[in-house]
Amino acid sequence: MKSVLSYPNRGKWGLATYRGNCSGYLIKDLLEFYKPRTFLEVFAGGGTGYEVAKELGYTDSVHLDLNPEWGGWNALKDDVPICADFIFCHPPYYDMVIYSGEVWGTAHKDDLSRAESYEDFIRKLDFVHEKLFSSLSVGGRLATLIGDCRKNGRYYSIIKDMKYFGTLESHIIKVQHNAHSMRKEYQGKFIPIVHEHLLIFRK
């Protein structure tokens, strides 16, 4: 792995049609690099991490999401069920994609993509990260994949506004392929966002 990653093909893992899904190659590379004994994925969405973990032989990895397909685990209310040494976390990028009521089921008030405002989203994201970080084993890692977004002309840098926990061990830029923003016509008004951030925090 290097500090800039690019996977033009998302791979065979998980639902390619799940809005905002990520490439399974990213999760595969992380698991092969860090070789954690216990793996937890939160915001499991279209099942990318689940399928990668099974292929790599993880029989007891845990994958959670508010989506009822994954048991309806609520990051704002529910406990973290295991003490993992690696957590992959891929939250909504504020309201870039609305999940409950659009991607699945009906609108849920604790869906992070339905936060009342950007400030409310950041508060909730901080709360979830703190909870996840506390649940890690000592020496464990929390890897969060998050993008920047632009709305009504304002640029939102989530990684600038959110809280950090433990030691920031790596900041990786992941090139985005086929992102929705790349298909929008900006007519030269501003530069389209074609990257995401992967932050790796060590406890």
Tell me which residues touch ligand SAM (CB under 6 A): 14, 18, 20-22, 43, 45-46, 48, 65-67, 73-76, 90-92, 99, 110-113
- Residue 85 vs residues 34, 117, 135, 175: alpha-carbon distances, Å: 10, 32, 9, 26
Nearer to ligand SAM, 175 or 190 (CB): 175
| Distance of closest approach, residue 110 Cβ to ligand SAM, in angstroms | 4
- Residue 31 vs residues 41, 69, 80, 187, 199: alpha-carbon distances, Å: 11, 24, 20, 40, 15
| Distance of closest approach, residue 47 Cβ to ligand SAM, in angstroms | 6
- Give me the residues paired with residue 64 across strands: 42
| Distance of closest approach, residue 18 Cβ to ligand SAM, in angstroms | 4
Minimal CB distance to ligand SAM: which residue?
45
Strands of 195-202's sheet in order across? 4-6, 167-175, 195-202, 141-147, 86-89, 39-42, 62-64
Nearer to ligand SAM, 67 or 201 (CB): 67
Nearer to ligand SAM, 38 or 74 (CB): 74
Q: Which residues contact 177 (CB under 8 A, 6 or more apart)?
A: 6, 7, 8, 10
Q: Containing H/E element for 161?
A: helix 158-161
| Distance of closest approach, residue 99 Cβ to ligand SAM, in angstroms | 4
Nearer to ligand SAM, 130 or 190 (CB): 130
| Distance of closest approach, residue 55 Cβ to ligand SAM, in angstroms | 15
Distance CA 146, CA 154 (A): 17
| Distance of closest approach, residue 32 Cβ to ligand SAM, in angstroms | 18
Nearer to ligand SAM, 38 or 69 (CB): 69
Distance CA 93, CA 20 (A): 9
β-strand pairing of 4-6 with 167-175 = parallel
Nearer to ligand SAM, 22 or 136 (CB): 22
